[in-house]
Amino acid sequence: MVVTTTCEGCGEELELEKKGCPRKLYCSPACSTRAYGRKHPEKVRESARKSQRKNAEKYREQRVRKITPEQKAAKAAYRKEYYAKHRDAELARAKKRNANPEVKASRAVYQKEWSAKNRDARAAYQKEYNSRPESLAKARIRDRARSRTPKFRAVRNARYANDADFRERTLATQAERYASDADVRRRALEKSQAWRKNNPERNRVIANASGRKRRARKAAVHHEPYNAPDIFARDGHICGICLLPFDSSDASIDHIIAIDNGGHDAPYNVQGAHGSCNSSKGTKRLRDHWALTHDCP
């Protein structure tokens, strides 16, 4: 009597001549192993991990002893070709594996132990890698992209304002790059010209402030930073010389006691004024100017 059945491992049909065939039948030991692995994947993985841990040194010696450079190169080429064909599947599998908390914890412990054992070698390799031209180019692109984010700019500006050592290092680095790289100088000039063209009012305020600071430093008098629009708003946009209103197109900063006469360049010694009134007053004191222009006794 011939009995026809199906292998539970590969699905092929088998013919049996004996009566009372077993409940589970496989055409070969390999099919039996595969079927067991599909039904009990966790047990198979745990058994493989135990075997690897138990015979790790033995397996390592066998691999080192048996694998030749040609075999190693062929294996690397095969892996590269396989990854190129199955990239999406490999990435999905890696993502799923890395999401496992146990894998994350095990990897963190391993990386920490490896870094502690190979600290010098790792530092030497990192230094050599960072010195490569392609690494330097990638780092410049990455830093340039990161420096454009609002969060990075806020953190950098806060550190620049509060950390004097960081501020000095930043200025020294910028000065060195500006002096040694003609391309940096060209880009800086183009950027400055474009900004001045797009912000004429702001550029005029900054230029006037820089001129006042330079005059105060040259005259060896006290200088205290201030903002011209804030002075105009403080005085209510009223000229301190003729006592008439002025607008932003004809506004200027007048020193009550001129810098040339020892007056300080500070908010308590400045006032808003018409440009024509400021030019007419010059370095005179206010009462002397009024005496000349209003026939005061």
DSSP result, the chain: --EEEE-TTT--EEEE-SSS--SS--SSHHHHHHHHHHH-HHHHHHHHHHHHHHTHHHHHHHHHHH--HHHHHHHHHHHHHHHHHSHHHHHHHHHHHHT-HHHHHHHHHHHHHHHHHTHHHHHHHHHHHHTSHHHHHHHHHHHHHHHTSHHHHHHHHHHHHH-HHHHHHHHHHHHHHHHH-HHHHHHHHHHHHHHHHH-HHHHHHHHHHHHHHHHHHHHT--B----HHHHHHHTTTB-TTT--B--GGGEEEEESS-GGGT--BSGGGEEEEEHHHHHHHTTS-HHHHHHHHS---
Q: Residue 90 to residues 76, 82, 238, 296: CA-CA distances in angstroms?
A: 16, 10, 73, 93
- pLDDT tens digits along 84-122: 998 998 898 888 888 888 888 888 898 899 888 999 998
Cα gap 268→256, rounded to integer Å: 9
Confidence label for 297 from pLDDT (cuts 50, 70 and 90):
very low
Q: Does the 199-293 domain belong in CATH 1.50.10?
A: no
Cα gap 221→270, rounded to integer Å: 14
The pLDDT assigned to 282 comes to 86
Which range has the top average pLDDT, 58-62, 209-213, 285-289? Answer: 209-213
Other Cβ atoms within 10 Å of 95 Cβ, number: 9
The pLDDT assigned to 271 comes to 92
Residue bearing the bigger pLDDT, 8 or 284: 284
The pLDDT assigned to 228 comes to 87
Residue bearing the bigger pLDDT, 30 or 18: 30
The pLDDT assigned to 296 comes to 39
Name which of 256, 201, 206, 248 is nearest 227 in CA terms. 206
- pLDDT tens digits along 63-91: 666 677 888 888 889 989 998 998 998 89
- pLDDT tens digits along 176-205: 988 888 888 998 899 999 998 998 888 888
Residue bearing the bigger pLDDT, 82 or 296: 82
Judge whether residue 6 has pLDDT over 80. Answer: no
Domain map of the chain by residue range? 1-43, 150-197, 199-293
Phi/psi-derived region of residue 237, left when phi > 0, alpha when psi is between -120 and 50, beta in every other case: left
The pLDDT assigned to 295 comes to 46
Judge whether residue 57 has pLDDT over 80. Answer: no
What pairing do the DSSP bridges indicate for beta strands 13-16 and 3-6? antiparallel
Cα gap 252→270, rounded to integer Å: 10
Name which of 265, 256, 264 is nearest 283 in CA terms. 256
- pLDDT tens digits along 161-179: 899 999 999 999 989 988 8
Cα gap 100→89, rounded to integer Å: 17
pLDDT over 70, % of the chain:
87
State pTM to two decimals.
Answer: 0.40
Q: Mean pLDDT in the chain?
A: 83
Judge whether residue 24 has pLDDT over 60. Answer: no
